[in-house]
Amino acid sequence: MTKIPFQAESKRLLELMINSIYTHKEIFLRELISNASDATDKMYYRALTDDSITFNREDYYIQVETNKESRTLTLTDSGIGMTREELENNLGTIAKSGSLAFKKEQEIKDGHDIIGQFGVGFYAAFMVAEEVQVISRSVDEQKAYLWTSNGTDGFTIEETSKDEVGTKIILTLKEDTEEETYEDYLDEHRLQSIIKKYSDFIGYPIKMNVTVSQPKSDDSDEMEEVEELQTINSMVPIWRKNKVELKEEDYIQFYKDKRYGFDTPLDHVHISVDGAVRYNAILYLPESAPFDYYSKEFEKGLELYANGVLIMEKCSDLLPDYFSFVKGMVDSEDLSLNISREMLQHDRQLKLIAKNIKSKIKSQLKTMQKKRPRQLLEVLRSVWSSAEVWRV
């Protein structure tokens, strides 16, 4: 079988791109799940213009499977799939993005959007895998194809069989070393944690088998462990819901779910902007200074999402130092999923968001000054110096 060389770069360039863009190896799972979500969105758009396709949202989900004996992690979607040519073009050229091309051709509506933009994310899989296999069958063909690569000198493509339209990605994980234990990515609790952390708000169910305890029989107290297919992600982010649908309790519960603090927030502001830059945000004013506020360990910043996918836990560029006690999150459709801290420092959209957020916080503090001046004063005394008061 003839091996096809990568069109754009060598093994060294591939390593440089991965290591410069991704800080944590667990990011690979976020990238592959986002690609699967994009493939399903593409099927949705095809159904809008193709009467032969019926898109029932309940029938579409992403499944994660593990096999410790073969050391494999598998992700399966029922999205639009890829032809042989698309496999070669999209996966054979690093930084080639089928999602970006699709996004340019389509008018994205109805709350659907394509997450991937730069085509780099798929290659994050090689941070943890010694071999990646992609089995895909396009909605346009009866044939299926197998793409195989070790991420170094190239890849092979051969015809294979697949009963249903969609894509299956099989990662053969690297062997454990003294520095890293790749079997962690086969542990169901670790996988659940990564999915909840980065992909909790992907619009389709992410399912995997989870070990649960249940009675051996209806009349028995003896328990047994069985595997049960469960949906891991919550799918609908609170910040995209209509404000009139939400109650104060919903915002407080989100604050606790995200572990922003052990206190009850004194106030919050829910922001939805659709202008020069599109973003949603929920910001919280805590009732007291964070417990580590004056320690070296304290790190300011808001959670930063790109179209519902977490890209940074603490984005310090979104808050000036005098508002470092504010907690919360920002989600924007205009930010790239494949973005690094260095790139963010020069991102125009991020600077516009930060400017707007600073203005919103000031406005909210002025409103609180009229309604709850005593409580506000207590909080500000614990976090501000006199110089910072004058600055605001």
Whichever domain contains 252, its CATH number is 3.30.230.80
SS3 298: coil
Q: Is residue 41 part of a domain?
A: yes
Q: Extract the tokens encoding 381.
A: 């005394």
Q: Is the predicted pLDDT of residue 107 greater than 70, yes or no?
A: no
SS3 62: strand
Q: Is residue 231 part of a domain?
A: no
Q: What percent of the chain has pLDDT over 90?
A: 48
Residues 24, 89, single domain; the answer is yes
Q: What does the pLDDT read at residue 311?
A: 87
Q: Is the predicted pLDDT of residue 147 greater than 90, yes or no?
A: yes
Domain boundary among 178, 198, 213: 213
Q: What does the pLDDT read at residue 287?
A: 84
Instruction: State the pLDDT confidence band at 340, using cuts at 50, 70 and 90.
Output: low
Q: What does the pLDDT read at residue 114?
A: 42
Q: Which of 202, 50, 53, 197 is nearest to 116 (CA)?
A: 202
Report the distance separating Cα 185 and Cα 74, nearest Å: 11
The torsion angles phi and psi of 94, rounded to 5 degrees, stand at -65, 135
The range of the structural domain enclosing residue 48 comes to 4-213
Residue 316 CB-density burial (10 A; 0-12 exposed, 13-18 middle, 19+ buried): middle
Q: Is residue 306 part of a domain?
A: yes
Domain boundary among 179, 213, 247: 213
Specify the DSSP element, H or E, that contains 226: strand 223-231
Residues 180, 305, single domain; the answer is no
Q: What does the pLDDT read at residue 101?
A: 53
What is the total count of domains within the chain? Answer: 2
- Across the chain, what does the average pLDDT equal? 84
Residues 258, 376, single domain; the answer is yes
Instruction: State the pLDDT confidence band at 148, using cuts at 50, 70 and 90.
Output: very high
Q: What confidence tens digit (pLDDT) does each residue in 162-200 have? A: 999 999 999 999 998 777 788 889 999 999 999 999 999
Residues 195, 288, single domain; the answer is no
288, 379 Cβ separation under 8 angstroms: yes
Q: What does the pLDDT read at residue 282?
A: 97
For 13-27, 98-112, 125-139, 348-362, which range has the lowest pLDDT when averaged over its residues? 98-112
Q: What confidence tens digit (pLDDT) does each residue in 214-230 have? A: 888 777 778 888 999 99
Residues 61, 162, single domain; the answer is yes
Which residue reads 């919550």 in tokens?
234
Q: What is the mean pLDDT of residues 227-242?
A: 92
First-to-final CA distance of the chain: 67
DSSP character for 179? S
Q: Is residue 224 part of a domain?
A: no
Q: Is residue 226 part of a domain?
A: no
Q: Is residue 164 part of a domain?
A: yes
Q: What does the pLDDT read at residue 9?
A: 53
Residues 13, 157, single domain; the answer is yes
386, 375 Cβ separation under 8 angstroms: no
Q: What confidence tens digit (pLDDT) does each residue in 16-62 have? A: 656 666 778 898 999 999 999 999 999 998 998 888 888 988 899 99
1 vs 224, residue with greater confidence: 224
Report the distance separating Cα 99 and Cα 75, nearest Å: 18
65 vs 225, residue with greater confidence: 65
Residues 17, 146, single domain; the answer is yes
Whichever domain contains 62, its CATH number is 3.30.565.10
Q: Is residue 262 part of a domain?
A: yes
Residues 165, 244, single domain; the answer is no
pTM assigned to the model? 0.80
Number of H helices and E strands in the chain, helices first, is 10, 14
Residues 172, 255, single domain; the answer is no
Residues 285, 326, single domain; the answer is yes
For 142-146, 162-166, 211-215, which range has the lowest pLDDT when averaged over its residues? 211-215
Instruction: State the pLDDT confidence band at 391, using cuts at 50, 70 and 90.
Output: low
Residues 207, 259, single domain; the answer is no
Specify the DSSP element, H or E, that contains 227: strand 223-231
Residues 167, 276, single domain; the answer is no
For 141-155, 254-268, 329-343, which range has the lowest pLDDT when averaged over its residues? 329-343
Beta-carbon-side half-sphere exposure of residue 124 (alpha carbons within 13 Å): 23
115, 307 Cβ separation under 8 angstroms: yes
Beta-carbon-side half-sphere exposure of residue 233 (alpha carbons within 13 Å): 27
Q: Is residue 227 part of a domain?
A: no
Q: What confidence tens digit (pLDDT) does each residue in 277-328 have? A: 899 999 999 888 777 888 888 899 999 998 898 988 999 999 999 999 999 9
